[in-house]
Structure 1
Amino acid sequence: MAFFETNDGVKLFYVDKGKGQPIVLVHGWSGDHTTFAEPIESLSNNFRVVAYDLRGHGQSDRTDQGLTLRRFARDLKELMQHLDLSEVTLAGHSMGASTGFEYIRNHGTDRLRTFTILDMTPKLINDEGWNLGLWHGEYTRSDADRDLTQMYEEFEGFSRTFMKRTVPYLNATELEKTLKLSAANSPHVLAAMWHAMVTADYRDMLADITVPAQIAYGEKSTLYSKETADYLNERIADSTVIAFENCTHMLTAENPGRVEEVIRQAAGTPATKA
């Protein structure tokens, strides 16, 4: 466990465990590196696994600057340069996948071996020409404006509604526990990054993903649909769609063993025998 300082003076927390071919894991909005706690442990037996807290998240600096996906992608580039990583198996969940899209748009695929996308769309906002975004095509720009206003006024209220819809099976106790974890984040950081996601559109760069890609989705995800995964599959030349049965958008928590299996397969090494 260590800290790395970016070129604009923000300290990012990361773990670097194991030896061998590198794997870099990027968590999603409002999470941290522990999103991948179990895969980090198991994969580090065979690989060098790097997982970090995005700026404004977890143990990284709670900064007021650089709260854009372009800066997040720059942070990823600088971290990989700092650790001298190449032939990287990159995996991102939700906003972590958006960070990967942005990284490839700005910095190419030279350092990458593969890219694993865990339940994410290339464009959150739905409109007349696009219905594969958030909430299975229902989320519009006016919805985003409303949500951003609520985040700044009362983040707990937004978080409660969001989590109930994202993970509908949570009981009251589980929901309150989840909300407590969410409350540890800085509302202005999360609002800024929500804005970054709702204004992003990666449909025009999907053909630039020239490394093999794995496109995983939760079959019970209330956020994104199978059709979203199929859209990505059609536009990323060397890609495969992987369904997570009985999983929502929170598939990293619901089936971490399957996440490990997918990433291990992407890295090109078969699973170890029990």
Structure 2
Amino acid sequence: MAFFKTSDGVTLFYVEKGEGRPIVLVHGWSGDHTTFAEPIERLSNDFRVVAYDLRGHGQSDRTDQGLTLRRFAHDLEELMDHLGLGEVTLAGHSMGASTGFEYIRNHGTGRLRSFTIFDMTPKLVNEDGWNLGLWHGEYTRADADSDLTQMYGEFEGFTRTFMKRTVPYLSEAELEEMLKLSASNSPHVLAAMWHAMVTADYRDMLADITVPAQIVYGDKSTLYSKDTAEFLNGQIPDSTVIAFENCTHMLTAENPGKVEEVIRQAASNPAAKA
């Protein structure tokens, strides 16, 4: 476990375990590096695994600055440069995948070996001609505005509704436990990053993902559909679609063994960029 200071003075927490080809894991909105806790332990037997807390999350600084996906992408580049990483197997869950999209848009794929996308769309907000965003095509800009207003006014109310829809099988006791974890986050950080996600559109850069990509989706995900994964597959030149059966958007917690398997396959693939 260690800390790294970015060029704009924000301290990021990261863990680094194992030796070999490097793997970098990026968690999603409101999470932290422990999203990948089990895969980190298993993968570190054969690879050099790095996982970190995005700024504003986990043990990293709860900052008021740089709360944009572009800055998150720069943080990722600076961390990899600090650690001297190349030929990186990059994997991101949800907003972590958006960070990967933004990284490739700004920094290209020269440092990467492959990119794994865990249950994410290139554009959250649905509009005329696009229905592969959040809530299987139902989420509009008006919904985003309403959600942001609620986040700033009563964050717990937003998270309760969001988690019940995201993980519908939760019992009331399990839901309350997740809400306790959510309460440890800073509402202004999460609202700022929700705004960053709802204004992002990565459809125009998908062809620039020139390393092998794995597109993973949960077949019970209430957020994104199989059609979203297939759209990404059609736009990213060297990509494959992988379904996680009986998993929701929280597939990293629901099937960590398969998460490890997918990342291991990407890191071991001899056809990946060498």
* CA drift at 1:230: 0.1
For 1:4, the aligned partner's letter is F
* CA drift at 1:156: 0.1
- Is 1:72 the counterpart of 2:51? The answer is no
Query: In 1, distance between residues paired with 2:110 and 2:78?
Result: 14
Question: Please, which runs of 5 or more residues in structure 1 have no aligned partner?
Answer: none
Ranges of 4+ aligned residues in structure 1 off by more than 2 Å: none
Identity %: 85
* CA drift at 1:85: 0.1
For 1:138, the aligned partner's letter is E
Query: In 2, distance between residues paired with 1:134 and 1:268?
Result: 32
Aligned to 1:252: 252
For 1:143, the aligned partner's letter is D
* CA drift at 1:129: 1.1
For 1:18, the aligned partner's letter is G
Query: In 2, distance between residues paired with 1:129 and 1:226?
Result: 18
Per-residue CA deviations over 1:27-74 (Å, capped at 9, x if unaligned) read: 000000000000000000000000000000000000000000000000
Spell out the pairing of 1:10-29 with structure 2 (5 A cutoff).
10-29=10-29
Question: Please, which runs of 5 or more residues in structure 2 have no aligned partner?
Answer: none
Spell out the pairing of 1:38-117 with structure 2 (5 A cutoff).
38-117=38-117
Query: In 1, distance between residues paired with 2:65 and 2:263?
Result: 32
Query: In 1, distance between residues paired with 2:262 and 2:33?
Result: 18
Task: Report the 3-state secondary structure (helix = DSSP H, G, I; strand = E; otherwise coil) of the residue aligned with 1:169.
Answer: coil
Query: In 1, distance between residues paired with 2:214 and 2:161?
Result: 30
Q: Structure 2 length as normaliser, TM-score?
A: 0.98
- Is 1:37 the counterpart of 2:37? The answer is yes
For 1:142, the aligned partner's letter is A
Query: In 2, distance between residues paired with 1:236 and 1:190?
Result: 29
Aligned to 2:3: 3
* CA drift at 1:213: 0.0
For 1:246, the aligned partner's letter is N
* CA drift at 1:269: 5.9
Query: In 1, distance between residues paired with 2:178 and 2:106?
Result: 34
Query: In 2, distance between residues paired with 1:101 and 1:129?
Result: 21
Task: Report the 3-state secondary structure (helix = DSSP H, G, I; strand = E; otherwise coil) of the residue aligned with 2:65.
Answer: coil
Query: In 2, distance between residues paired with 1:224 and 1:7?
Result: 35
Query: In 1, distance between residues paired with 2:191 and 2:181?
Result: 16
For 1:26, the aligned partner's letter is V
Q: Structure 1 length as normaliser, TM-score?
A: 0.98
Query: In 1, distance between residues paired with 2:213 and 2:201?
Result: 18
Aligned to 1:149: 149
